[in-house]
Amino acid sequence: MQIKPSEQISVVIPMYNEMGNVDTLIGEVDAALKSHPDYEIVVVDDGSTDGTRERLAELCKSNPHLRFIKHKRNLGQSVGVVTGVRHAKNAWIATLDGDGQNDPADIPNLIKAAEEKSTGRPVLIAGHRVNRKDSGWKRFGSKFANSIRHKVLRDDCPDTGCGIKLFPRDAFLMLPHFNHVHRYLPALFKRAGGVIVNVPVNHRPRVEGVSKYGNWGRLKVGVTDIVGVAWLIRRPCSSEVEE
């Protein structure tokens, strides 16, 4: 019997130097899923140096839903996501950025969308930030990058950089993994025969800490990434078996 996300879910959150956001974000996830029968929160500390991991250790003592994994050094957001999914115990995964800009209250909406789109194929529910609270320069960079990705990869996703997503754990683990893979999940799910569903989500301003990304840095690695993912897409791996 296929497990539904309303029955079992792990929330994976990579964090790097987010001490000011830890308590609030964990509390908001607990509030969003308080009526859920089986959930866990898996935070991956990506080599923080500001006390993030110490605070997570303290919270784990009083929160039975919370677990955290430690990277020895900073390895990047995508590695954090992969580590969290590998350590998660539940069949469905929701991801959130660790900066507090994604709203955990949107997770139930993603769960509902996944269950309404039950087709027997892997489904990726992707958040779409319709009212972004970033600077104008950052919004421009994101819009430009999303337009290029869509034209090259045809990934059926207007906002692939949005951190809040929902997907089956086993489907994710079958995908190829590389640094920055979190930005290409729609294209990779589609390549594997999956379905992409975009759901409007809330977006909030960062109130603590500093952004770990800049437009030029993303552009520099993005060119190589898009070429590599486009190469993968031209070599599909999905199959159709006659019953």
In a domain, 150, yes or no: yes
Give the count of domains, the chain.
Answer: 1
Checking phi first, is residue 241 left (phi over 0); if not, alpha (psi -120 to 50) or beta?
beta
User: Is residue 186 included in any domain, yes or no?
Assistant: yes
Identify whether 198 is part of a domain: yes
Going residue by residue through the chain (243 aa), what tens digit of pLDDT does each one get? 589 999 999 999 999 999 999 999 999 999 999 999 999 999 999 999 999 999 999 999 999 999 999 999 999 999 999 999 999 999 999 999 999 999 999 999 999 999 998 777 899 999 999 887 666 656 656 666 667 777 778 788 999 889 999 999 999 999 999 888 888 999 999 999 999 999 999 999 888 867 755 545 555 566 678 877 787 787 766 555 444
* CATH number assigned to the domain comprising residue 189: 3.90.550.10
CA distance linking residue 217 with residue 1, whole number of Å: 44
Residue type, 232: L
Taking the C-alpha atoms of residue 160 and residue 23, their distance in angstroms, rounded to an integer, is 27
Instruction: Supply 176's token pair.
Output: 């190829």
User: Which residues of 90-145 form beta strands (DSSP E)?
Assistant: 92-95, 123-129
- Asked if residue 197 lies in contact with residue 111, where contact means CB atoms within 8 angstroms, the answer is no
**Residue 155 falls inside a structural domain:** yes
Do the domain assignments include residue 239?
Answer: no
The single-letter code of the amino acid at 239 is S
Whether residue 240 is contained in a domain is answered as: no
Buried b (16+ CB within 10 A) or exposed e, 12-35: bbbbbbbbbbbeebbebbbebbee
Helices (H), 71-135: 77-87, 107-116
Residue 23: inside a domain, yes or no?
A: yes
Tell me if 242 is assigned to some domain: no
Range of the domain at 118: 9-233
pTM for the structure as a whole: 0.87
